[in-house]
Structure 1
Amino acid sequence: MKRREFCKGATLASATLLAPTAASAVLNKSTSGIQSMNDHITALSASRLSSMIRAREVSCVEVMSAYLERIHTYNPVYNAIISLADEGGLLAQANDADKALSKGEYWGWMHGMPHAVKDLADVRGFLSTSGSPLLAKNIATKDSLAIERIRQAGAIFIGKTNTPEFGLGSQTYNTVFGTTRNAYNPSLCAGGSSGGAAVGLAAQLLPVADGSDMMGSLRNPAAFNNVIGFRPTKGRVPGADENSKLFFDQLATDGPMGRDVTDTIKLLTTMAGFDAREPLSLQDTLPRAESFVPTALEDGVRIGWMGDYGGYLATEPGLLDICRGALQGVETKGAVVEDCAPDFELERLWDTWLTLRHFAFIDSQSLLKDPTLKSQLKPEFQWEIEGSLGMSAAQVVKADTARSDWYRALMALFGEYDFLALPTAQVFPFDAQMHWPSKINGKPMDTYHRWMEVVIGGTLAGLPVVNLPAGFDQQGRPIGIQILGPTGRDKAVLEFALAYEAVTSYLEQHPALVTSL
Structure 2
Amino acid sequence: MRTTVPPQEKLSLNVLPSEVWRWSAASIAQQIRLGSISCVEVLQAFHRRIDVVNPRLNAIVHEDREQSIGAARQLDGLHRQDSHARGILRGVPVTIKLNVDMAGEATTNGVPAYSRRVAPADSAVVTNLRCAEAVINGRTNVPPFSFRWFTEGPLYGRTLNPWSADITSGGSSGGASVSVATGMCAIAHGTDIAGSIRYPAYVNGVVGLRTTSGRIPAYHPTTAQRFYGLQSMSAQGPLARSVEDARLGLLAMLGADTRDSTWVNAILEHEDDAEPVRVALVDEIPNVVVSDEIKKALQQAAASLVEAGYVVERAQPPAIDQCVEIWQSIAMTESRFGMIAAVEETGDASIMRSVHNMAACAPSVDLGGYIKAIALRDELRRKWNEFLRAYPILLMPTSCHMPQPWGADLGTVDEMRELVAIQSPLIAVAALGLPGIHVPTGMSNGLPVGVQLVAESFRELRLLCTASVIEREAEAGSALNYTAS
1:375 to 334, 347, 362: 347
SS for the counterpart of 1:469 is strand
In 1, the alpha carbon distance for the partners of 2:31 and 2:454 equals 34
In 1, the alpha carbon distance for the partners of 2:20 and 2:76 equals 16
Query: Structure 1 pair 365/468, CA: closer, same or farther in 2 (3 Å)?
Result: closer
Counterparts in 2 of 1:81-480, with a 5 A limit? 81-85=60-64, 87-104=65-82, 106=85, 108-242=87-221, 243-245=224-226, 247-248=228-229, 249-287=231-269, 295-297=274-276, 301-309=277-285, 311-344=286-319, 346-364=320-338, 367=341, 373=345, 375-376=347-348, 378-379=351-352, 380-381=354-355, 391-431=365-405, 433-436=406-409, 444-446=415-417, 449-473=420-444, 475-480=445-450
Query: Structure 1 pair 340/141, CA: closer, same or farther in 2 (3 Å)?
Result: same
Is residue 296–residue 499 contact of structure 1 (8 Å, CA) maintained in 2?
no
SS for the counterpart of 1:149 is helix
Cα deviation, residue 481, structure 1? 1.1
Report the residue type matching 2:47 in the other structure.
Answer: L
Is residue 326–residue 471 contact of structure 1 (8 Å, CA) maintained in 2?
no
Query: Structure 1 pair 121/448, CA: closer, same or farther in 2 (3 Å)?
Result: farther
SS for the counterpart of 1:174 is coil
Report the residue type matching 2:424 in the other structure.
Answer: E
**Which moved further from structure 2: 418-427 or 106-115?**
106-115
Report percent identity of matched pairs: 24
Is residue 365–residue 385 contact of structure 1 (8 Å, CA) maintained in 2?
no
**Which moved further from structure 2: 72-81 or 151-160?**
151-160
The count of aligned residue pairs is 464
Partner of 1:20: none
SS for the counterpart of 1:250 is helix
Q: In the TM superposition, what whole-angstrom CA distance separates every residue of 1:31-58 from its partner, at most 9, and x where no partner exists?
A: xxxxx99952111110110111122110
Partner of 1:21: none
Partner of 1:29: none
In 2, the alpha carbon distance for the partners of 1:39 and 1:136 equals 39
Query: Structure 1 pair 215/308, CA: closer, same or farther in 2 (3 Å)?
Result: same
Structure 2: 5+ residue runs without aligned partners?
1-14
Query: Structure 1 pair 102/135, CA: closer, same or farther in 2 (3 Å)?
Result: same
SS for the counterpart of 1:360 is helix
Is residue 361–residue 388 contact of structure 1 (8 Å, CA) maintained in 2?
no
Query: Structure 1 pair 79/54, CA: closer, same or farther in 2 (3 Å)?
Result: same
Query: Structure 1 pair 64/400, CA: closer, same or farther in 2 (3 Å)?
Result: same
Is residue 398–residue 426 contact of structure 2 (8 Å, CA) maintained in 1?
yes
Q: In the TM superposition, what whole-angstrom CA distance separates every residue of 1:81-101 from its partner, at most 9, and x where no partner exists?
A: 11122x455334423322221
Partner of 1:515: 484
Cα deviation, residue 386, structure 1? 8.3
Partner of 2:7: none
Cα deviation, residue 376, structure 1? 4.5
Report the residue type matching 2:389 in the other structure.
Answer: G
Query: Structure 1 pair 447/141, CA: closer, same or farther in 2 (3 Å)?
Result: farther
SS for the counterpart of 2:437 is strand
Partner of 2:8: none
In 1, the alpha carbon distance for the partners of 2:94 and 2:284 equals 36
**Which moved further from structure 2: 69-78 or 456-465?**
456-465
**Which moved further from structure 2: 418-427 or 322-331?**
322-331
Cα deviation, residue 61, structure 1? 1.6
In 1, the alpha carbon distance for the partners of 2:461 and 2:436 equals 11
Partner of 1:487: 457
Report the residue type matching 1:302 in the other structure.
Answer: R
Is residue 110–residue 155 contact of structure 1 (8 Å, CA) maintained in 2?
yes
Higher-Rg structure is: 1
In 1, the alpha carbon distance for the partners of 2:148 and 2:324 equals 16
Partner of 1:9: none
Is residue 425–residue 480 contact of structure 1 (8 Å, CA) maintained in 2?
no
Query: Structure 1 pair 61/466, CA: closer, same or farther in 2 (3 Å)?
Result: same
Cα deviation, residue 483, structure 1? 0.7
Query: Structure 1 pair 343/131, CA: closer, same or farther in 2 (3 Å)?
Result: closer
SS for the counterpart of 2:233 is coil
Report the residue type matching 2:226 in the other structure.
Answer: K
Is residue 169–residue 200 contact of structure 2 (8 Å, CA) maintained in 1?
yes
TM-score (norm 1): 0.82
In 1, the alpha carbon distance for the partners of 2:256 and 2:166 equals 42
In 1, the alpha carbon distance for the partners of 2:384 and 2:179 equals 34
Is residue 100–residue 220 contact of structure 2 (8 Å, CA) maintained in 1?
no
TM-score (norm 2): 0.87
In 2, the alpha carbon distance for the partners of 1:362 and 1:445 equals 18
Is residue 89–residue 248 contact of structure 2 (8 Å, CA) maintained in 1?
no
Is residue 294–residue 497 contact of structure 1 (8 Å, CA) maintained in 2?
no
Cα deviation, residue 394, structure 1? 1.1
Superposed CA RMSD: 2.9
In 1, the alpha carbon distance for the partners of 2:162 and 2:265 equals 38
Report the residue type matching 1:244 in the other structure.
Answer: Q
In 2, the alpha carbon distance for the partners of 1:382 and 1:134 equals 20
